[in-house]
């Protein structure tokens, strides 16, 4: 059992801070890169469409990093899979391109994750939705990865649903109970997920 290096309270992060001490430590520090970039986007030089596109990309990257760190903290093997991770800058080049190849690249899941206990491997796609809603209609047409899991980060929760469940008419809503911690396939520690949900509230509470 790990203890906070500052106050001694319980924390899931060996050699780290609990959430309260982490939040206090961040007060008064220089803005994080994501925050400074968002402020820069609100200044001149970009059209409304460009600003919305870049702001959406930033929120998506924060959500991906949050989920990546969550799984890494639980001992998972996590590999970035999408083409944007293999060829840096390709998503910027494909902006506005509607070809079949471009669509296939955009559909690639964000991660491949391996359960350290069962050794099972899963495709994982991470989404951020301020509304807390994700349905089958939100998927690209003819989405090819039918064995993928979709992890939705919202302002309050981290939830999960499979492609097949979406296809069968199920969805993630603010009131649905398809929490990530309830997925038996992942066998995750719910206390860790709660701690990362607090991070999500910190990052996305004002979005």
| CATH (domain of 175) | 3.40.1350
- pTM, entire model: 0.68
User: Residue 135 has which token pair?
Assistant: 């349905």
Average pLDDT over residues 88-101: 56
In a domain, 199, yes or no: yes
Q: What is the pLDDT of residue 31?
A: 46
Q: What is the pLDDT of residue 204?
A: 83
Q: How confident is the model at residue 1 (pLDDT cuts 50, 70, 90)?
A: very low
CA-based R_g, the chain, Å: 18
**H-state helical runs in 121-162:** none
Segments forming the whole domain that contains residue 1: 1-30
As for how many domains the chain has, the answer is 2
130-140 pLDDT tens trace: 899 999 999 98
Decide: helix, strand or coil at residue 63.
helix
In a domain, 183, yes or no: yes
Average pLDDT over residues 25-54: 57
71 and 16 in a common domain: no
137-177 pLDDT tens trace: 999 888 889 999 999 999 889 999 999 999 999 999 999 99
53 vs 145 pLDDT, higher one: 145
In a domain, 46, yes or no: no
In a domain, 184, yes or no: yes
CA distance 116 to 114: 6
């Amino acid at each position: 059992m790990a203890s906070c290096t500052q106050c001694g309270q319980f924390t899931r992060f060996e050699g780290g801070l609990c959430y309260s001490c982490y939040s206090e430590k961040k007060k008064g520090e220089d803005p994080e890169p994501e925050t400074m970039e968002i402020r820069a986007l609100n200044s001149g030089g970009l059209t409304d469409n460009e600003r919305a596109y870049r702001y959406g990309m930033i929120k998506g990257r924060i959500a991906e990093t949050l989920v990546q760190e969550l799984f890494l903290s639980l001992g998972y093997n996590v590999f970035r899979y999408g083409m944007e991770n293999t060829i840096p800058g390709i998503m910027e080049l494909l902006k506005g391109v509607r070809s079949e190849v471009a669509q296939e690249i955009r559909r690639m899941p964000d991660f491949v994750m391996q359960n350290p206990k069962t050794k099972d491997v899963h495709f994982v796609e991470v989404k951020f939705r301020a509304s807390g809603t994700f349905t089958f209609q939100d998927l690209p047409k003819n989405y090819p990865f039918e064995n993928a899991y979709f992890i939705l980060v919202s302002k309050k929760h981290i939830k999960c649903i499979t492609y097949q469940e979406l296809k069968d008419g199920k969805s993630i809503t603010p009131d649905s109970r398809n929490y990530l911690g309830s997925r038996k396939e992942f066998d995750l520690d719910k206390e860790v997920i709660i701690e990362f949900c607090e991070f999500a509230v910190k990052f996305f509470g004002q979005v």
